[in-house]
Each structure stands twice: as C-alpha cells, then as structure tokens.
Structure 1
Amino acid sequence: MRAFTEEQREQIKEQLLEVGFSLFSVHGLKKTSVKELTDAVGIAQGSFYLFFSSKEELYFEIIEREEETIKEILLQEIKGKEKIGSGDFAQFLLRGLELVRNNPIIRRVYFEGELEMLMRKLPKERIENHIERDAHVLFPLLDEWEKKGILKETNRDVIMSVIRAYYFALVHEQQIGSEHFLKTAQFLAEAIAEKLIKGEDHD
C-alpha cells in the first residue's frame, strides 16, 4: 500500500470529505461505495482505510462539520441580541430546524432515514462523544442567561435534552405530514420556549 507524506494525508483527507459531501448528498450513505469515493480522489480503494475506518465514519465526520457550521450561525445570531425572550428562543429553535432541513446531507440523516443506519454502524462511544460535545456548545450561553435571570429552568442537562428531543421528534416529518409539519414545529418551539425562558420583562 502506498505511503503518503503528512501533507499528502491532510490533502487527501480533505478531498475525501469534500467528495463525500457531494456523493452522500446526492446518493445517500447506502448507495455511495468506498470505490466511488476513492476513484474521485485518485487513490486505491484499500488506501481509504488509512483515513477512515469505514464510509460511515467519513459520513459522520462530514455531518459533524456541517453541524458545527450550523451551530456557529445560530450562536452568532442569538448572541447578537441584548435581551432574550421566549419568542427569541422559539425563533432560535425554528432557525436551527430551517438550517438542518436546507442542508442536503444533514437532511438525509434526520429526515430521510439514514440516522438509524449510522447508529447501527458506528461505535457507541463515537455517538456518545458527539452528544457530549454537542451539549457543551451551548453551556457558556446558558450560563450567561442564568446569570441574567433569563432561564426558568436552570438545569443545563435538562435544557439540552429538551432541545435534542425537539429535533429528534421532528425527524418524523413524513409521519407528521408535510402539510402540518412547519406549524407543528412552530407550536413545539413556542411551547418549549415558554417553559424555558422568562418573559421580556425578566429584568
């Protein structure tokens, strides 16, 4: 098997991530083969495993990158507000849903049934680490809101579980029905925000 320099390894890994995004977005996880990925990058099929243990791991790393971008957008948008009311938090949840639904690869995972396939194939600790990191992203913001007296519920783990439950519930878009989906999402977002965030006159 061909040896790569450190610089080549970094370049090839980045190429695999870019090609993977394109192929997975169009064809999904199941219909995209390792051979298609390596052919597009110009390496031997066996060399793929120098970079990722499976195509599922590549897929998951792409998802994590996309989710990081979405989180950064959401955090920047809500950090810019001096006062946070329940309406702002509901919009925060809905904006996150919009970004997820408009992302071609994350949409496949959450709305087109590929999440279960990933959960079966990836090591349990990989999923657990992702969930833990996911939670920590909002912790500084929640700490700030707690100091300002904005939060009705101050248990950060509970808050993160509620947010996670919101998005996971909406995985079932087809079962909910497309004609009712956005209204349902708004209803849930407003209900959650009302329970978590104090009114505009909290200070």
Structure 2
Amino acid sequence: MVTKEYDMPKRVIPEEERNSIKLTMLEAGFPLLKEYGMTHTTVSKLTEAAGIAKGTFYHFWKNKEEYMTDLISYHRKKMIPLYIDGDVLAGKRKVGRDEVKRFLLAMIDEEVSIYAHMTLEDEAKLIRQTDAFLPDPVKESAIAVNLLDHVEGVREDADLPLIANMIKIFVIAAESREELQEEAYGRTVDTLAESILDLIFE
C-alpha cells in the first residue's frame, strides 16, 4: 500500500528546537512589519526571513493573524526592559513622571514600537480572527496595576479603568496617524501623554 504524503505524520520537533524556531520567527517579524505593513507581511516572507520551511510555520500558528497576535505580545514584553531598567523591574526603585512619559512615547516610536506600524484596520482584522484582541477590562486593569506598581507618587484616587482607556486611545492615535493633521501630530500625542500622567501622578 502506498502511503500518501498527507497521511504521513508530521515531524515531532523537540521542545528546545521548537523554542529556538519560534524565537527566530518572532524576531523576523518586526523588521518585515516595518517594511511591508501587516497586510503585505506574508507567511512566505516570514519563513524566508527566518530561514525555515513554510510548512514549519504551521507547527506554531494556524494563520498569520495568530502569529501577529503573538508578535505584538512578544514585542510589548521586549520593550519593557529597554525603557525601564532592571532595578525598577526588580522592585529596588520606582520611576517618576519623566520616566513614565519616556515609556509612553516609546510605545508609539516607529523605531522600536510595533504599534506605530499597525493600523486600526489591522487591529480590526486581528479581533475578527482571534480572541486575544477582544476588549478585556479585567486584563487591561491588571496591566495598569502592574505599571503603577513600579511608579512613585501615584494618586490615591487613580482611576485604573480610565488610565487603561487613555493608554489605549494614545496607541489608537498612533495607529491613526495618517488620518490626523500631521503638523499637529507631535503636539497631539504629547498632550495625550500629559493627560495620562496627570491621571497617574499627584
């Protein structure tokens, strides 16, 4: 009996190799997203940049949208130690207003932030394809709490849901940059950042 190709079992990839391949593909994604945008960043481009077979991609993700969701999470975590030093993350000291503002602006910096290279249409597509982008008030408030745990001088009446919403609006402004008045874009994001800081600090 001839075994058809699609009847053959997939190769089992050892855990250490899986982790290495996944990391390589996640590292390959951001430069492609910067160059092509989400729509034109294809699975073929991703696997070619990572130096792996196209079929290997599907050992890890069902589709490009699921990959992009992981890529966003990966880069969000990767950004934190770049702008918040180890002493802060270890709880040895807390940050003040200026450092929080630098981190907020880094969230939309085209050189380091994935959000600066996405559009509202991209986000809408991810929402349709995966539950990871659906609004989650509990998760968003938890992120705000985690941020404020590292901050000194937080207002006693800090409104966590409002802060979470304002940070989301801040990111949406960057995603909608082409729809805004370019001449006033810098002042717009600075005003939004200052509004967030006023909600956080006494």
- The TM-score with structure 1 as length reference comes to 0.71
What is the aligned partner in structure 2 of residue 139 from structure 1?
145
Greater RCO (Cα-Cα under 8 Å, separation 6 or more): 1
Q: Alpha carbon RMSD of aligned pairs, Å?
A: 3.5
User: 2:163 touches 2:199 (CA, 8 Å); kept in 1?
Assistant: no
Deviates more, 1:132-141 or 1:179-188: 132-141
Q: Is structure 2 residue 193 aligned with structure 1 residue 189?
A: yes
Closer/same/farther in 2, CA of residues 178 and 130 from structure 1, 3 Å limit: same
User: 1:38 touches 1:44 (CA, 8 Å); kept in 2?
Assistant: yes
Q: Distance in 2 between matches of 1:195 and 1:109?
A: 26
Residue in structure 1 matching 2:155, options 123, 138, 151: 151
What is the aligned partner in structure 2 of residue 160 from structure 1?
164
Q: Give the partner amino acid of 2:184.
A: H
What is the aligned partner in structure 2 of residue 178 from structure 1?
182
- Stretches of structure 1 that go unaligned for 5 or more consecutive residues are 199-203
Q: Distance in 2 between matches of 1:61 and 1:130?
A: 17
User: 1:16 touches 1:37 (CA, 8 Å); kept in 2?
Assistant: yes
- Stretches of structure 2 that go unaligned for 5 or more consecutive residues are 1-9
Q: Give the partner amino acid of 2:104.
A: G
Q: Distance in 2 between matches of 1:132 and 1:11?
A: 32
Closer/same/farther in 2, CA of residues 82 and 16 from structure 1, 3 Å limit: closer
Aligned length: 189
Q: Give the partner amino acid of 1:2.
A: R
Q: Is structure 2 residue 54 aligned with structure 1 residue 54?
A: no
Q: Is structure 2 residue 47 aligned with structure 1 residue 38?
A: yes
Look up the SS of the partner of 1:100 in the other structure.
coil
More helix by share: 1
Q: Distance in 2 between matches of 1:68 and 1:77?
A: 14
- The one-character-per-residue Cα deviations of 1:39-85 (angstroms, maximum 9, x if unpaired) are 4445443332111111122222122121123334444499597784x
Q: Distance in 2 between matches of 1:179 and 1:195?
A: 26
Q: Distance in 2 between matches of 1:144 and 1:34?
A: 38
Deviates more, 1:129-138 or 1:36-45: 129-138
